Structures are given as structure tokens and as C-alpha cells.
Amino acid sequence: MPIPKDTLWKAIIEDLFDDFCYYFFPKWAESVPDFSKLPEFLDKELDALYPKDDPSKRFADKLVKVFTKEGKEHWILIHIEVQGYQDLGFPERMFTYFHRIRDRYGKVDLMALVILTDGNATFNPTEYRYRYEKTEIVYTFASFKLLEKSEAELNVPYNPFSVVMRTAKKALQKNNLSDAAQMTWKRELVVALKEANYPPPKIRRILHFIKNYVVFRENHIIDVFEEFVSNTFTQRKSMGIEEVVKQYHEAQRAQAIKEGLEEGLKEGLKQLEQTKIKGIRKALLRGKLDFDEIADIFEVSLAFVKQVQDGEVK
């Protein structure tokens, strides 16, 4: 069973909280909080203040207490809408959070952020208004609408939370949800993680988010992706040897093309891993992917996929 997205959001915010703050509040994060002191995540307290009345609606709430460089307490209310429904009562709920927290904990400094990961372009609340006669309340809060952001806007240099946001953005686009499309963009994000050289604990947590935020339909494709991740992050002892092997295979590939595709494929089959052949057979049997998608996922030619289908590969 897939991990609920609200659960994944709560976990990744806790795991990368300092990066989260620098991503959404860069100036504040630079000058106010003391990240050497661990923040306190007050989820249970928040649930007690505002129990969820409809469990079918998925959203992630975080109440976090951080300590400032001056030794004071500062509070952050984070609300993430996950589903694509339009909740007309949402702005009032944000205001209710605000005044209940202030009522319960006193006159604490409190800032609120709403991250909208849904696909509804018309849903982007930023304030709650109440007015009756001459009595009026206006409560505004920061809102981050993922649907409106481009890939370039989401990519904050040197901040690992960028990969989290890019993952959520990819999941909003229906043409990115097939196994073949997932394999393409997930590989791109894995390579980006590798090249950014983030600390290993952060990489592991982000990889968990990438793998589970959108899941592959076919189990054998999960194995292919896991193998790609493993190979990407495996540290080899000798880069010189790696370069020699790479040049050798490139020379073999050029020679195969020169001698003809069929002869090249026969030579390549000697080195092809059996797990890849097995995965192609399973994909063909299930019939859910066309030849182009299978070829892209397993990084082989269309001719090779045809050979597997015809039983020419042993």
C-alpha cells in the first residue's frame, strides 16, 4: 500500500527542517533561528487544538517551535494541502489555528505558511475575512502554490529541499505518471542529488521521498530503478579504471554500429544482465507498456525488445 502523501510531507519537513526554512524563508532563516538547537515538533498539541473532522481529506499540519539566536521561542505553523479539492472553509481553519495557538501558548511569535500541492488552478487562498457591521477581522498568511511555479523557480541552488519540491511538481503533471515517464524524471533527480554532493543522511531521506511520492505500477520496474540508484551512488575505488572501462565499452559500441545492428546486439547480449532481460519479458507479458516505453526504461533498442518478444534471447 502506498505511503500517504501527507505522511511523507510531515517526515521530510522534520528530516530537512533547516533546509525547509532556508527554502521558504531565506532572509528569516539566515538571521533569526538558532539551528544548533533542535526544533520541537508539536503535532500532538496541534491535533488537540484542532482535530480533523474529515479523515478523507488529506493534509499535513506541522506546528514547530524554534529557538532564536537571542534565546527566544518562535513558532511556525505549516499547513500542506495534498488533495486537489477546493475547501471553502480552509481560510477560516487557518485563522482558527492562529487564535487557538495564541490562546493556548500566549503571545508567541507565530508565522504561517500554506503549501498547496493540489492541481486546482482556482484554489489559492491567502486570507480570511470576517465582517459584521463595524466589526472586521482580516487574517493573511503566506501561500505557496506549486502549480504556478516553474522548474527554474523551484530549483534553489545548494538547497536539497529543491529536489523535494521538484518531485511534487512532477507528480502534478499527468504525463509524468506512467512508469516510463517516472523512470526518466526520477533518474534526473537522482543524478541531481548525486552531483549536488549533499550529506548522505539527507540523500537517503530525499530518495525515500522520490521513491514513494509517486510509485511505479510494475514491481520489476521498481527493481530496475533501485539498481540505478545503487549504481549511481556506489563509490568506486579507482576512477582511472572506471574511465578505462567506459572507453572500452564506447569503443565496442562504435564497432558494433559499424559492423551492423544485428551483430552489435549479439555482442551486447553477452554482457546484458539477466535481471534486465527478465524485466523486459514481464513488461511484455503484462502488455501495459509499448515498445518505446520498454526500450526507454531498460535502456535497450527497439530491435532488442522485439528479439525478447520473439524468443530470440535466451
Write the pLDDT tens digit of every residue in 125-139: 899 999 999 999 999
pLDDT reading at 260 higher than 70 = no
Rounded CA gap, 21 and 227, in Å? 33
Give residue 261's pLDDT. Answer: 46
pLDDT: is 257 or 143 the higher one?
143
Residue ranges covered by each domain of the chain: 1-148, 151-235, 239-309
Residues in the chain: 314
The 10 Å CB-count burial string (b at 16+, else e) for 68-87 is eeeeeebbbbbbbbbbeeeb
| Tens digits of residue pLDDT in 74-91 | 888 777 766 556 677 889
Rounded CA gap, 170 and 80, in Å? 17
pTM: 0.72
Give residue 183's pLDDT. Answer: 93
Rg (CA), the chain: 25
Amino acid 305 reads V
Give residue 251's pLDDT. Answer: 58
> Is 295 within 8 Å of 301 (Cβ atoms)?
yes
Q: For Cα atoms 147, 150, 151, give the angle at the middle one, nearest 5 degrees.
A: 115
The 10 Å CB-count burial string (b at 16+, else e) for 201-227 is ebbebbbebbbbbbebebebbebbbee
pLDDT: is 54 or 284 the higher one?
284
